[in-house]
Structure 1
Amino acid sequence: MGFATLLSSIGASVATVFVLYCAALFGYRILLHPLRSYPGPFLAKLSDSYAGFYALTWRLHLVTRRDHLKYGPVMRYGPNRLVFNSAAAFRGWPMPMHSERVTKSEVYRVTQQLENVYNVFNVRDRAEHRLKRKLIGRAVTEQSMRSFEPTMTAQIEIFLRQVLQAAQARTTSERMVNMTQPFKYLGYDIVGHLAFGYPLKLQTDDSNRFVVKANAYGNFRLNMYMQWPLLRHLRIESVLDLLPNGLRVRLFNLIETMIKARLAQDKDARRDLFFYAADDFREGNDGLRLGNLWTEAIFFLPAGGDTTSTALASLFFYLSRNPVCYAKLCDEIRTTFRSGADIRGGPQLAGCSYLRACIDEALRMSPPVPGTLWRQLAYDDPHTEPWVVDGHVIPSGTEVGVNIYALHHNEEYFPDPFSFKPERWLAANDDRGGESGKAGIHNAFAAFSAGPRGCAGKAMAYLEASLVTARTLWYFDFEAAPGRADGKGARTRGRTDGHGSEGEFRLYDVFISIHNGPHLAFRTRGDYYRELTGGEL
């Protein structure tokens, strides 16, 4: 037998074994698997490639909602995955997915930069997570935000002065602003100061603006691996690191610069993340990039820089297309305060109930993290009692999640889900009918997750969104830029083919949402803008 013939024979044998293995595996997953009775897309029962494909196309959130409409409130969305679309599964009885018996899925391990080095996002051990969240949470509590607010306000004033430049421009095209970039730059400038007291200066200098694209690329990788873990195991990481244009390397170098600059200062120089966590997150002898501060910064920057910017972009989009809501919010802001300088954190701002309702409605319609966060029973759970989610006994080894975008557009909780209706939140706050009444929509609100894994930065997000919105409406009026459709297109309302709905602010799911727009045209409101220029005309 010749060498070529031998190779051909071996190849044929390997191919045969592979085909038989796949046949046996797929047969088991369809006919014998504990989840075999659950409905769902056929391909999803065989492989994670179904969700993986739509993660690669940035629209998994839309497709998941479409599939819920077809298959029902619980469906099989991978060989070992169930995704639910109910408040009972997210936050309900008898055991919500944020119970102490439940932890993040094993799939979160694919997001680690290094073995045995975790951050608050991907740590799975519950005791270690509690410690990390407590440390990170100190920097973003309501009390911490009060001391940080002057720094935040200074960055917001830079944003407002740039809006003023656009509002005073001579031509229509110069007055038109794509709000995605200003909100992103503002968000990152704020979180740079909050993390390490570092002036990123994205709003005024283009040197560090690559971090927006770099983190979007990093989030895409993260989402791709979480939905289709096989891709990480195939070691395509080395190829992806070459694209695009070394952004990951530049991001890592910048983070190292930020940390070193802060380490060179006294711990008490400012009340930032380093101040609150330095004593507990000491670096080892293996180098900065193997330490806790490093891995926390990798998560902290996009978590603080990208999420609130999505809420603000969505809010400004829907306000510019809903004149009644716009007028009502303007009236609340302009009658509550006497000047732009009066708009600051405190009882007056907190008392602007319609502003809070508008922010919540924007977060509902455009959740900054629109996808499915996978959970499973903790590895050290004694299994003395079954894990029950919304009446379903979950087999061992199953990953369970609730898709946030689908839940936020579930008509059972949010009638007319593609319409911007802040009033639904005011009605819910006034309702006293309990869980079965209108107040139940709060149980279906998942923008900040819930329980011990809930977002620690909730207070910061509301303060930033409230200050930006209120102060913008104090100094300016705005409207949708002429000729720019943004979220609108030749689509029918409520379309369910995985491409969104007409009039919807378009989100692209790369774990943290990315977007483009809205394009707005600004004009100054009387002479109030003089506060931004030191009183000069």
Structure 2
Amino acid sequence: MNATGSGLRDIHTGSKNTNIQKAKNYIVLHDRGVPSTHSAIDKDTHAAKRKVMSHGFSEQALRGLEGFMVENISKWTNTLMEGASDESKGWSSPKDMATYANYLTFDVLGDLCFGKSLNLIESDKLRSIPKVMLARAIVFSTVGSTPLIPLYKFIVEKTPFEKYLMPEMSANMTKLVGFAAPALKERLMHKADVEKNGGTERKDFIYYLSEAKDPETGEGYSQIEFLAECRLLIAAGSDTSSLTLAAAFFYLTQNPEIAAKLSKELRDTFKSVEEIVTGPALNSCQYLRATIDETLRISPPVPSSLPREVTGSGMLISGEYVPTGTTVGTSAYAIHHSPDYFSNPHLFKPERWLPERTNKDELARAKSAFCPFSIGTRGCLGNTMAYNELSLALGRVFWSFDVRRQAGNNMGQDKFGEYGMRDIFITERDGPMVEFRRRADASVP
């Protein structure tokens, strides 16, 4: 395990010919034996899949996706006010933000991937779906770190024993497949009908991924690859954003003075909540971006290392020779808490990301170790979309509402005063319990 900026770059930013590749752990994440862009180990396979996937994350594509995000965010913000009354002086009932953040991010990704929301915000029918991601992460972090990988691969691909070995995960996966497979089929059939009749198609992930072709081979995704990628998008795009959103509420309600600065910036920038959309005005909200970056630093959504295997004749990492066959990685949590890169690393301090408030050398050092979305050719394709979703959600909430922690409730707090995360490659978490009150001069979001 290496927790240095040089090691981070050596492991993740080498060329195609560098003697390193994704570790065998990622076989566990193959979808019925089919690798996704995330789990593909072979570099050529990954490069081809990433080329196709990148069309869904272009600037044009993200502009088209924003409307679906905003629609879900608006519905979500309304639910935050449930339980408000004259008796409570306008404050809502307490909301577990780990749960409510899941509702939003999974609904957004379901909408973008399958043309219909999972509707976790309004219905409990599919609310067990987020447990699939946690269960698969536990399998990845346990089975993927042992010699059992070939056995697990055989069980999943060749036998029905998975439902007996991991019954809860199997049952929840069945629910996800029961939603995803027919929804994807219906969405693709609708796309074909619209095109046949000369109509205007909705520009979601399905649109861009079905249109995209590898420029070298002319091939797109097969049906089974399509489903694997859509499940990947839901897993990678929902749980990580959900953790960051919940953690942001934890730190902002723990530090009311920081929340006040954020609210003031937003309310000084926008005259109505409807104005809060991506673009120059939202980009000018530097304190909002610094708050998100500081949340990603202190509570990275994937705190563990992203395992890589040294190949060929070995390689140098931070100046030290590492032999072939060695599994290496840099833990985001470890490097984000290293005093070599961040002063007072357990202190939530958005100002550390503001050039006018931070020493130039300190800021450069911090940026050299910042890796919440990984870096290099395997870095997350969806980081811009994640920033957009987080900016829109936090921006609209802190413009519209006064926000506070439920009195006397420290759910989610660990011994360092940070947001408690149980590392299972991604994270299990609870809380915080947060209450909302509509600001007196705010229009209805």
Same fold, TM-score > 0.5, yes or no: yes
**Equivalent residue for 2:179, pick from 254, 260, 281:** 254
| 2:111 counterpart residue number | 193
Residue 242 and residue 531 in structure 1: after superposition, are their counterparts in 2 closer, same or farther (change >3 A)? Answer: closer
1:265 aligns with 2:265: no
1:459 and 1:114 mapped to 2: Cα distance? Answer: 29
Shift of residue 333, structure 1, vs aligned partner: 0.8
Once the two structures are superposed, the pairs formed by residues 272-291 of structure 1 within 5 Å of their partners are: 272-279=204-211, 280=213, 291=224
1:114 and 1:245 mapped to 2: Cα distance? Answer: 13
**Equivalent residue for 1:374, pick from 299, 302, 307:** 307
Q: Deviations over 1:371-411 (max 9, x none)?
A: 11111235xx5x4xx51111111111111111111111111
- Structure 2 residue matching 1:477: 3-state secondary structure: strand
| 1:106 counterpart residue number | 24
1:513 aligns with 2:438: no
| 1:303 counterpart residue number | 236
Shift of residue 261, structure 1, vs aligned partner: 1.6
1:161 aligns with 2:78: yes
Residue 421 and residue 229 in structure 1: after superposition, are their counterparts in 2 closer, same or farther (change >3 A)? Answer: farther
Q: Deviations over 1:290-312 (max 9, x none)?
A: x1012112211111111111111
| 2:368 counterpart residue number | 443
Residue 282 and residue 240 in structure 1: after superposition, are their counterparts in 2 closer, same or farther (change >3 A)? Answer: farther
CA contact (8 A) 1:225 1:232 kept: no
1:213 aligns with 2:131: yes
- Structure 1 residue matching 2:118: 3-state secondary structure: coil
Residue 245 and residue 97 in structure 1: after superposition, are their counterparts in 2 closer, same or farther (change >3 A)? Answer: closer
CA contact (8 A) 1:414 1:441 kept: yes
**Equivalent residue for 2:318, pick from 384, 390, 400:** 390
1:501 and 1:244 mapped to 2: Cα distance? Answer: 30
1:254 and 1:112 mapped to 2: Cα distance? Answer: 19
Shift of residue 113, structure 1, vs aligned partner: 3.1
Specify the code of the residue in structure 1 equivalent to 2:207: F
Shift of residue 271, structure 1, vs aligned partner: 1.5
Specify the code of the residue in structure 2 equivalent to 1:413: Y
After superposition, the CA RMSD in angstroms is 2.3
| 2:66 counterpart residue number | 149
Q: Structure 1 regions of 5+ residues with no counterpart? A: 1-82, 489-499, 533-537
| 2:439 counterpart residue number | 525
Residue 283 and residue 416 in structure 1: after superposition, are their counterparts in 2 closer, same or farther (change >3 A)? Answer: closer
Shift of residue 126, structure 1, vs aligned partner: 1.4
| 2:216 counterpart residue number | none
2:309 and 2:143 mapped to 1: Cα distance? Answer: 17
CA contact (8 A) 2:412 2:419 kept: yes
Specify the code of the residue in structure 1 equivalent to 2:139: R
Shift of residue 244, structure 1, vs aligned partner: 5.3
Shift of residue 226, structure 1, vs aligned partner: 2.0
Shift of residue 282, structure 1, vs aligned partner: 5.8
2:308 and 2:292 mapped to 1: Cα distance? Answer: 28
- Structure 1 residue matching 2:190: 3-state secondary structure: coil
| 2:334 counterpart residue number | 406
1:245 and 1:131 mapped to 2: Cα distance? Answer: 30
Give the alignment's TM-score, normalised by structure 2: 0.88
Shift of residue 315, structure 1, vs aligned partner: 0.8
Specify the code of the residue in structure 1 equivalent to 2:240: T
| 1:203 counterpart residue number | 121
**Equivalent residue for 1:330, pick from 263, 268, 273:** 263
CA contact (8 A) 2:12 2:378 kept: no
1:346 aligns with 2:274: no
Q: Deviations over 1:399-458 (max 9, x none)?
A: 11111111111111112111101111114996544xxx4312111111010010000001
| 1:481 counterpart residue number | 406
Shift of residue 144, structure 1, vs aligned partner: 1.5
Specify the code of the residue in structure 2 equivalent to 1:327: A
CA contact (8 A) 1:369 1:404 kept: yes
Shift of residue 205, structure 1, vs aligned partner: 1.5
Residue 407 and residue 166 in structure 1: after superposition, are their counterparts in 2 closer, same or farther (change >3 A)? Answer: farther
| 1:455 counterpart residue number | 380
CA contact (8 A) 2:80 2:436 kept: yes
**Equivalent residue for 1:317, pick from 250, 253, 260:** 250
Give the alignment's TM-score, normalised by structure 1: 0.74
Specify the code of the residue in structure 1 equivalent to 2:262: L
CA contact (8 A) 1:98 1:451 kept: yes
Specify the code of the residue in structure 1 equivalent to 2:14: S
1:141 and 1:430 mapped to 2: Cα distance? Answer: 32
Specify the code of the residue in structure 2 equivalent to 1:353: Q
- Structure 1 residue matching 2:329: 3-state secondary structure: strand
2:149 and 2:52 mapped to 1: Cα distance? Answer: 33
CA contact (8 A) 1:428 1:438 kept: no
| 2:198 counterpart residue number | none
2:382 and 2:86 mapped to 1: Cα distance? Answer: 36
- Structure 1 residue matching 2:233: 3-state secondary structure: helix
